[in-house]
Amino acid sequence: MREEGPPTGSETSREVTSVTTIGGTGFRWGERTYIMGVINVTPDSFSGDGVAGRPQDALEQALAFEAEGADLIDVGAESTRPGHTPISDEEELKRLLPVLEMLAPRVKLPLSVDTYKATVARRALEAGASMVNDVWGLKADPDLARVAAERGVPLVLMHNQHGTDYRDLMGDILASLRGSAGRALEAGVLRENIIVDPGIGFGKTPRQNLVVLRRLRELRSLGYPLLVGTSRKSVIGYVLDLPVEERLEGTAATVALSIAEGADMVRVHDVKAMVRVARMCDAIVRGWLPRP
């Protein structure tokens, strides 16, 4: 029996809803899922892949991600694992700047800086980053929005909170993200430069994380591109009872279901495997096909 031929016309790609420019590259939301590769410039990364003090290792990792199909790279110098010890701006910059200065001229992909501090973000953008990923959604340092606005760069606003008490889990997350986006807009950040993230693993119990993933599509009502980061996280360990180094399949499941529920970008450690997962999901969910 002959298989059906490939889709044609409007079936071949989902409608592009908006475009965000990151480091000179246009991210056409709705066309396909974008892959953000993670580089932790920390000595205490929860995932065990930190490269603190080793800029050359960070460069090799970034070039590998580029070859494996990542669309951008997120560089962070302060651990956000549960129970982490906060570090000063000076220490964060000491870890971060040598890596950004090595990556910026050698890696073709846009670089994002994972920080919630305005001072650190400003210096990172000067060193070659072209997006800011704020795990506190402007709650820790509202001046971060002004830095992003002045530089005209995209800003990821993640939901986060102290503790895990909610009146209405999804309603509270939506309200918080709406408030973060409002503060960014008031500071002058362009609407097309705002990306939201539900914050899987931040201020939520494992069961709450599962509910958020199950109801992810509700966040589409905010009208912003959606970034989801589940890679190797504790919710996977909770469900599968596996250590960090054995959470690849669990990560793949969460990435696939996130894409099915509307994720536009996924933040991952295992780029090669997750690019394959995303492209297969895109073919099913968005009608995406590789160019002939």
Cβ atoms of 215 and 209 within 8 Å: the answer is no
Query: Out of 233, 247, 276, 286, which one is annotated catalytic?
Result: 233
Query: Out of 117, 267, 279, 291, which one is annotated catalytic?
Result: 267
CA distance 154 to 123: 16
- Tokens encoding 18: 């908006």
Cβ atoms of 202 and 160 within 8 Å: the answer is yes
Q: Verify whether residue 233 is a known catalytic residue.
A: yes
Residue spans of alpha helices (H) in the chain = 55-68, 89-103, 118-126, 143-151, 169-186, 206-214, 234-240, 248-260, 271-285
Please report the DSSP string for 236-259 in residue order.
Answer: HHHHH---GGG-HHHHHHHHHHHH
Q: Verify whether residue 204 is a known catalytic residue.
A: no
Residues annotated catalytic, as ranges: 233, 267
